[in-house]
Amino acid sequence: MAVPQSAVGDKPNLLGMTLPEMTAFFAQLEEKPFRAKQVFRWIHQAGVDNFDAMTDLAKSLREKLPQVAVIQAPKLMTEQASKDGTRKWLLDVGTGNGIEVVFIPESDRGTLCVSSQVGCALDCTFCSTGKQGFNRNLTTAEIIGQLWWANKAMGPGWANSPKGERIVSNIVMMGMGEPLANFDNVTSAMDIMLDDHAYGLSRRRVTLSTSGVVPNLQRLKERCPVALAVSLHASNDALRDVLVPINQKYPLAELLATIKDYLQAAPRDFVTFEYVMLDGVNDSVQHAHELVKLVSGIECKFNLIPWNPFPDAPYARSSNNAIHRFCDILRQAGLIVTVRKTRGDDIDAACGQLAGQVVDKTQRTQQNKLGSSKAIRTIPIMNAGLTV
Ligand code: SAH
Ligand code: SF4
CA distance linking residue 195 with residue 217, whole number of Å: 21
Q: Which ligand 1 atom lies nearest to the CA of residue 173? A: 3
State the pLDDT at residue 83.
Answer: 84
CA distance linking residue 167 with residue 203, whole number of Å: 17
Query: Residue 343: pLDDT above 90?
Result: no
Nearest one of 110, 98, 178, 180 to 145, comparing CA atoms: 98
In 3-state terms the chain splits into helix, strand, coil percentages (rounded to 5) of 40, 20, 40
Task: Please state the pTM of the whole predicted model.
Answer: 0.90
CA distance linking residue 103 with residue 94, whole number of Å: 22
Query: Residue 21 C-alpha to ligand 2 middle, in angstroms?
Result: 30
Contact 301, 336 (CB under 8 A): yes
In a 10 Å sphere around its CB, with 0-12 CB exposed, 13-18 middle and 19+ buried, how is residue 321 labelled? exposed
Residue range 290-295: mean pLDDT, rounded:
98
State the pLDDT at residue 387.
Answer: 25
State the pLDDT at residue 84.
Answer: 83
Query: Residue 296: pLDDT above 50?
Result: yes
Residues 6+ apart with CB under 8 A from 217: 180, 210, 228, 255, 258, 259, 262
Residue range 3-12: mean pLDDT, rounded:
67
Sign of the Cα torsion 277, 281, 286, 289 reads: negative
Alpha helix stretches (DSSP H) within the chain: 19-28, 33-46, 59-68, 128-132, 140-154, 156-160, 183-194, 214-223, 237-243, 252-263, 285-294, 320-332, 364-367
Residue range 342-358: mean pLDDT, rounded:
59
User: What percent of the chain is predicted at pLDDT more than 70?
Assistant: 84
Q: What is the pLDDT of residues 234-267, one digit of tens each?
A: 999 999 999 999 999 999 999 999 999 999 999 9
CA distance linking residue 199 with residue 165, whole number of Å: 10
Query: Residue 208: pLDDT above 70?
Result: yes
Rg (Cα) of the chain, in Å, rounded?
A: 21
Query: Residue 40: pLDDT above 80?
Result: yes
CA distance linking residue 20 with residue 272, whole number of Å: 31
Ligand index nearest the alpha carbon of residue 314: 1
Average pLDDT, the chain: 87
Confidence of residue 171 (pLDDT cuts 50, 70, 90): very high
Query: Residue 379: pLDDT above 60?
Result: no
Nearest one of 42, 16, 47 to 144, comparing CA atoms: 16
* Alpha carbon distances (Å) from 214 to 187, 233, 246, 256: 16, 16, 10, 9
Query: Residue 153 C-alpha to ligand 1 middle, in angstroms?
Result: 26
Is 351 known to be catalytic?
yes
State the pLDDT at residue 23.
Answer: 98
CA distance linking residue 225 with residue 152, whole number of Å: 27
Sign of the Cα torsion 58, 64, 68, 72 reads: positive
Q: Does ligand 2 have an atom closer than 6 angstroms to the CB of 133?
A: no
CA distance linking residue 218 with residue 260, whole number of Å: 11
Contact 339, 328 (CB under 8 A): no
Contact 310, 378 (CB under 8 A): yes
Contact 315, 343 (CB under 8 A): no
Q: Which of 53-62, 145-154, 296-305 has the lowest mean pLDDT?
A: 145-154
State the pLDDT at residue 19.
Answer: 98
Q: Does ligand 2 have an atom closer than 6 angstroms to the CB of 129?
A: yes
Query: Residue 174 C-alpha to ligand 2 middle, in angstroms?
Result: 9
**Residues lining ligand 1, Cβ inside 6 A:** 126-128, 174, 178, 209-211, 231, 274, 276, 305, 307-308, 310, 351-352, 380, 382
Residues 6+ apart with CB under 8 A from 74: 91, 92, 93, 99, 142, 145, 146, 149
Phi, psi of 250 (to 5 degrees): -125, 85
Contact 321, 365 (CB under 8 A): no
Question: Following DSSP, what letter does each residue of 3-16 receive, concatenated?
Answer: -GGGEETTEEBGGG
Higher per-residue confidence, 353 vs 175: 175
Query: What is the DSSP pairing of strand 336-339 with strand 170-173?
Result: unpaired
Q: Give the residue whose CA is nearest to atom 8 of ligand 1.
A: 210
State the pLDDT at residue 160.
Answer: 45
Confidence of residue 342 (pLDDT cuts 50, 70, 90): low
Q: Which of 16-20, 115-119, 281-285, 355-359 has the lowest mean pLDDT?
A: 355-359
